[in-house]
Each structure stands twice: as structure tokens, then as C-alpha cells.
Structure 1
Amino acid sequence: MLRIALTGGIAAGKSTASARFGELGATVVDHDILARRAVEPGSAGLVEIVRAFGDRAVRDGALDRAALAAIVFHDPAARAQLDAIVHPYVFAMARAADKQARADGAQVVVHDIPLLVEAGGGEDYDLVVTIAAPEEVRVARMVESRGMSRDDALARIRSQASDAERSAAADTVLDGSGTAEALRAQVDEYWQVHVPAH
């Protein structure tokens, strides 16, 4: 079973690439979904978050994402504390997903991991693919499609690993600066070269 880690900065095109890998036949494990599962109401993850950040992090028994973002977004130490709580649960669920995929006979599993570099997990995979796009392209996408202000978009981008750090961790860098069709074509080419017996 070939295990590929797919990463990329916000608005670089990673979701487009992830979807295309799924269309080509890969089993896709979305770590954002796992992260949400890790902090569902009643979860051990949510209990730890409340212990660390107080009741202001929850509303009506569920994680208040906006409130938590306000706490950790401008505080690197708080963000690191949050990551230290959530990441072990996500990694445990990812290992379980791998085990299930192997049992199901999957040949290729793509782990869609936005914070791969930040979490330091790249060496756990057979291949690492980064989707990269210039900062200005990403800012424009966030302003247009997500309604963010330019300052908010830049702050979000700069709170993540840099393109250089993600590229250094990658075996392959795909260009997400163009159209979705152009990126899908790159994924197709990558699949032809790197995925055996498909």
C-alpha cells in the first residue's frame, strides 16, 4: 500500500488536488475531518481543550471554533498547546484509517494534511506532495472566495509554515497558482508516474 501525504498552504489548491486523487482511485484521509472528530462534544479532546483554555472555548457543549481561534491565532504558545492536544488524537485516527484501508485492499492512501510541516509528520509517509502558490494568488483567492480582508488573509497565511518549509519537506511540488483544471492535470501526471499498477 502506497501512502502519500498531501499538504499545502491555505488557498493553494490542496482541496482540488485531494479531490482529484480520490477520483483517480486513492483512498483519501482528510485530517481536517479527523481534527473535527477529535473535538466533538463528549470527546476526550474537547475535555482537554476546556481544561487548557477554560469554558470560553465552548458554547452549548460544543467547541466554539471562533472563540478558540481568537485565543490561539495571535498567540503561538497557545496554538502550540492546542496542537499538542489535538494532533495525537488525529494521528491515532489516521493510523486506524490506514489499517482499515489496508484491510479493504486499498493500493493508494492519500493523507490530506494541511499542517504536515507544523506537525512534523512527513517522514511517516512513502511520498510527500506539496501544492504551492504565490502568496498574492492565495490572498486574492481568500478575499474573493472566503470574503476575508487582505490583512486577515495575510495573517492566516503567515501563521502557517512557509512555502519554502513545505517545499523542503516534499518529494514533489505541484503548482497550484493556475486554474483547477491545470492542477488536476498535474495530479494526473503525478499519478501516472508514481502510482504502480493502477
Structure 2
Amino acid sequence: MIKVGVTGGIGSGKTTLCKEWEQMGAYILYADDLAKKLMNENDELRSKIIKVFGEQSYDASGNLDRSYLAGQAFEKGRVEELNELVHPVLWENTKLIEEEKKREGVKVFVKEAAILLNNGRPKDLDYVVLLLADEENRIDRTKDRDRTSEKQIRNRISKQPDFNELIHLADFVITNDGTLKELKNKSQQLFKKIIEQT
């Protein structure tokens, strides 16, 4: 099984690339989606979040209050605190899913995460793909997608690493400053290249 990490800043095109690869037969693990699922369903993690961030972290129905938690993390400078709670559980579950997919005979396993290179290059990956895009393009895309303000997006970007400084950790770099069609073509070509190399 080929293991690939896909990373890049908010609005850089990670999801578009992954959706293309999914159609070409890859299994994609979206770290953000899995983290949200675990924050809702993992009792131990829920308890820790409530202890650190308060009862307001979950609504009356017991569902994660994402806007409250995002406000705590990004606007109050508590991203690291939240990551310290979520990441160990996230990577433990990722490992289990990875093993399950290997048993199922999946050929390409992709881990999509903005935080992929935060502690250097993960040793278990065969390839790392980094998506880069001009900051203004990223802001415009994210505004359209998330219906959030430019200020909120800039705040989130400021909390992410400068991905231009992480190029040396990647095997492939895709610059996504063109059209959606161009990104899809680049994604398809890269997937074929990775398959051919192994």
C-alpha cells in the first residue's frame, strides 16, 4: 500500500486534489473530519475538552459547538491546547484505519491534514504532496466556501505554518493559482506519476 500525505494551507486546494484521487481509486482520510467525529464520539476526549474549554464546548443536544471551540482556539490563542488533546487520539485512530485499509487491499492510502508537517516529515509516508497558493486566492476561495469573513480567515492563516518554508519536506509541490480545471488536471497527472513510480 502506497502511503501519501497531502498538506497545505486553508484554501490551497487540498480537498479538490483529494476528491480527484478518490475517483481514481485512493482511500482518503480527512484528518479534520476524523478529528470532529472523535470530538463528538470519543467519550474520553469529550471529557478532556469540557475540562479544559468548559461545558460550552458542546450544545444542549451534546454536539460539539464548533464555532465556540474555534473562537477559543483561534481568537484566544489556544490552538496548541486543543491540538494537545485531539492529536494523540486522532493519530491513534488514523493508524487503526490505515491497518484496516491495508487488510482490505487498498492500493493508495492518503492522509490529508494541514498539520501534517508540524513536527517535521512523518516517517511512515512514502510521499508528501504540498499545495501552495497565493494568499489572496486562498482567502477568496475560503470566503466562498465557508461563508466566513476575511478577518476570520486571515486569523486562521496566521495560526498555520508558512507552507513555503516547508517545501523541503515535500516530494511534490503543486502551485494552485489557476483555474479549478487546471488543478484537477495537475492532480490527475500527479496521481498517475505516483502509481507509476511504485
Mark yes or no: TM-score above 0.5. yes
Q: Structure 2 counterpart of 1:87, which letter?
A: H
Please name the residue that 2:70 is paired with: 69
Aligned counterparts of 1:6 and 1:17: Cα–Cα separation in 2: 9
Note the C-alpha offset of 1:195.
1.2
Note the C-alpha offset of 1:100.
0.9
Change (3 A) 1:148 1:42: closer
Deviations 1:101-143 (A, max 9, x none): 1101111111111221236563331110011101011112223
Note the aligned Cα RMSD (angstroms). 1.9
What SS class does the counterpart of residue 196 from structure 1 fall into?
helix
Confirm whether residue 127 of structure 1 aligns to residue 152 of structure 2. no
What SS class does the counterpart of residue 96 from structure 2 fall into?
helix
What SS class does the counterpart of residue 118 from structure 1 fall into?
coil
Note the C-alpha offset of 1:55.
1.2
8 Å contact 1:41–1:62 — kept in the other structure?
A: no
Normalised TM-score (structure 2):
0.91
Aligned counterparts of 1:170 and 1:158: Cα–Cα separation in 2: 21
8 Å contact 2:132–2:164 — kept in the other structure?
A: no
Aligned length: 197
- Structure 1: 5+ residue stretches without partners: none
Please name the residue that 2:153 is paired with: 153
Normalised TM-score (structure 1):
0.91
Confirm whether residue 21 of structure 1 aligns to residue 21 of structure 2. yes
Please name the residue that 1:98 is paired with: 98
Aligned counterparts of 2:79 and 2:109: Cα–Cα separation in 1: 29
Please name the residue that 2:185 is paired with: 185
Please name the residue that 2:43 is paired with: 43
Runs of 4+ in 1 over 6 A off after TM superposition: none
What SS class does the counterpart of residue 152 from structure 1 fall into?
helix
